[in-house]
Amino acid sequence: MTDAPAFYERTGDTAFVATSATQSPWDERLQHGSPPTALLARAMTANHPRAEMRIARLAVEFLGPIPLATMNVRTRVVRPGRRIEMIEGAIESDGREVVVARAWRIAVGPMHSVPPAATEADNVPAVPEARSEPQWIQDFGYGRAFDWRFVHGERGFGPAAVWARPRVTLIAGEAAHALDHALLVADSANGISRELPMNEWIFVPPSLSLALERYPDGEWTLLEARTTLSRDGLGISASRLADTAGYFGVGSQALLVERRPV
């Protein structure tokens, strides 16, 4: 279990310090991609509030290693609009941009203003009872920051599905937002559906793309994922996100695949 009070501690209006709960499986000095993704979404929606709009697509670019250090966040509206608008956020650390994100927000109408879809929604598996977590997911700070309940795929390789609930909040002393829980696990698709041993290979995404039809509800997020690999160093992880009420989003990640340095 994590000893960190949150994934981040705020030290100013735009300044944050990353805690050990953000620690990456690839390097203990770096952050996992999910916490910065959640932090940027929180900053963009907080700095540019539009109650009548929701984020429908989020594209995150990891411009290089994200140090486990102090960061500054800035945001702006790229393309304002009444029904559709684009907002942008960036994280800087040690004088360089390390993450940038752009989000399309779309205006929502009254509930039930759209009739039910012709295709029935897929059923969501139940959250399993608590049981011992696989050792590989407890070997780094980010992994220890969650309660993981695997539906399948925890012991081997290949497609996997896991319910995850963060044990700490995104920002110390600040209440959770609707998107926090989902975005805090969205960049884990390549890890849970790994096709190669993590202690021998790296399969790192330089970006994350998400499409959301609604915001999640509750603490638990289901992440279903499948990874495919080329034979010359690339890969793709595809994922679906759900809460206990049903599926609400899909994600994709391109991967750099190479053997770990000795």
Domains along the sequence of the chain with CATH: 6-108+130-259 (2.40.160.210)
64: left (phi over 0), alpha (psi -120 to 50) or beta: left
94: left (phi over 0), alpha (psi -120 to 50) or beta: left
Judge contact between 41 and 179, C-beta under 8 A.
yes
Judge contact between 255 and 237, C-beta under 8 A.
yes
State the pTM of this model: 0.95
Quote the pLDDT of residue 168: 96
Return the ∠ at Cα 238 (arms to 233 and 239), rounded to 5°. 145
Q: How many CA atoms lie within 13 A of 194 on its CB side?
A: 19
Quote the pLDDT of residue 163: 98
Question: What does each of the 262 residues of the chain score in pLDDT, given as a tens digit?
Answer: 678 999 999 999 999 999 999 999 999 999 999 999 999 999 999 999 999 999 999 999 999 999 999 999 999 999 999 999 999 999 999 999 999 999 999 999 999 999 999 999 999 999 999 988 888 889 999 999 999 999 999 888 999 999 999 999 999 999 999 899 999 999 999 999 999 999 899 999 999 999 999 999 999 999 999 999 999 999 999 999 999 999 999 999 999 999 998 7
Quote the pLDDT of residue 134: 86
Burial class of residue 156 in the structure, from the number of CB atoms within 10 Å of its CB (0-12 exposed, 13-18 middle, 19+ buried):
exposed
Quote the pLDDT of residue 132: 86
Task: Report the candidate in 143, 165, 171 with the shortest Cα–Cα distance to residue 39.
Answer: 171
Rounded CA-CA distance 106/96 in Å is 31
